[in-house]
Structure 1
Amino acid sequence: MMETAFLHTEEVRLRAVEPEDLGLLDRMENDESLWQHGNVTCPYSRFQLERYIAENSNDIYTDGQLRLIIELCDGETAGAIDVFSFDPRHRRAELGIVVLKEFRRRGIGRVALSLMERYCFRFLGIHQLYAYIQKENTACLNLFHSSGYDTTGVLKDWLYTSDGYRDVCLLQKLNTLIA
């Protein structure tokens, strides 16, 4: 029997961003403790986030990215997972995930990551997924390592934070299902 449920299990589903997710996006994008993990340098306004929701086509080939909301079976939103820096020629994309603090250490991130991989590898035909993770972010490194990602490099002094420069690990996972 052919598997068709790419984006959900009985416990977790990944779904498109809806206008009702404005509060969640505002909470995640404007959480200053998360800024050190990427390139964000200032808050996003609610207006900017509303425009993102309204203008996003949810087509990775059009937008070059795909953000999905991590939702539990009871309807609670637990975070978001993103595929971005999509390169259709080389069939690769970068991954990012945010699980809200109150939902961490429950396996939700692992399930969401697995669902996104399955969608990217089996449905989109992506050859490679990768992530840049701060060396000090052991929880995130453990999540990706336990999901089959290999550390293929360390970028010295890659991110500048209020505490100084931080090294970043490059993690990759290759799709072994397609050539």
Structure 2
Amino acid sequence: MGLTAKSSQETIRLRAPEPEDLEVMLSFENEAELWELGTATGPYSRYQMKRYIAENQNDLFADGQLRLMMVRGVEEVAGMIDVFSFDARHSRAEVGLVVRKDLRGKGIGGVALALLESHCFGLLGLHQLYAYIPMGNTASRKLFAAAGYTECGILKDWIRVGNSYQDVCLCQKINCL
């Protein structure tokens, strides 16, 4: 896939998951603190992740989602970015991304988001992308705001964290192409 751009210091590209990505994908998917942000209720096994990599067509229209690996430099996986909850009728999808903790704050997420948007709005013809971001996650809110997403609503008690609930900000970007 020709999704490549430069951050302030290096080349970032997006590519489909490969079998060699199994360990890094498991590390992201099995990070318990990220489960609270999504719908996962437990860890993924190696078997499940191997099947996902092998069987996924990496086609938003066929799979209902599109997962891409963020790669910096030659072949260092820096994170993952997903488009999911795809709604073909209304031409929209949710976006989620995670950057390795040791690489956060280097512009990688912003470059990856711009590449994903270009692909989704340009090639796939989506009308809008959106994200649910916990109100306290100021880094993600800044990232999406810098990418042109509009904070268009607050969803009260949207995610459960431990024994309490937290509000999230709904951010969206409309394709103006």
1:141 & 1:163 partners in 2: Cα distance? 24
Specify the SS of the correspondent of 1:8: strand
Specify the SS of the correspondent of 2:160: strand
2:16 & 2:139 partners in 1: Cα distance? 26
- Root-mean-square deviation over aligned CA pairs: 1.2
1:75 & 1:6 partners in 2: Cα distance? 15
Is contact 1:6–1:118 with CA below 8 Å preserved after alignment? no
Residue 12 (structure 2) pairs with residue 9 (structure 1): no
1:6 & 1:44 partners in 2: Cα distance? 30
Is contact 1:70–1:80 with CA below 8 Å preserved after alignment? yes
- In structure 1, the partner of 2:114 is 114
Residue 31 (structure 2) pairs with residue 35 (structure 1): no
**Is the alpha carbon distance of 1:163 and 1:103 closer, same or farther for their aligned partners in structure 2, counting shifts above 3 Å?**
farther
Identity of aligned residues (%): 55
Structure 2 unpaired stretches of 5+:
none
Residue 127 (structure 2) pairs with residue 131 (structure 1): no
For residue 74 of structure 1, report the CA deviation from its aligned partner: 2.6
Is contact 1:148–1:173 with CA below 8 Å preserved after alignment? yes
1:98 & 1:163 partners in 2: Cα distance? 24
Q: Indicate the larger mover: 33-42 or 122-131.
A: 33-42
Q: 1:50 corresponds to which letter in structure 2?
A: K
Is contact 1:6–1:119 with CA below 8 Å preserved after alignment? no
| Deviation by residue 1:34-84 (Cα, 9 ceiling, x = unmatched) | 112111121111111111111101111110000000001231100000001
- In structure 2, the partner of 1:88 is 88
Structure 1 unpaired stretches of 5+:
none
For residue 89 of structure 1, report the CA deviation from its aligned partner: 1.6
1:119 & 1:149 partners in 2: Cα distance? 16
- In structure 2, the partner of 1:161 is 161
For residue 137 of structure 1, report the CA deviation from its aligned partner: 0.7
Specify the SS of the correspondent of 1:9: strand
- In structure 2, the partner of 1:19 is 19
Q: 1:149 corresponds to which letter in structure 2?
A: Y
**Is the alpha carbon distance of 1:126 and 1:6 closer, same or farther for their aligned partners in structure 2, counting shifts above 3 Å?**
farther
2:35 & 2:63 partners in 1: Cα distance? 22
Please report the TM-score for the alignment, with normalisation by the length of structure 2: 0.95
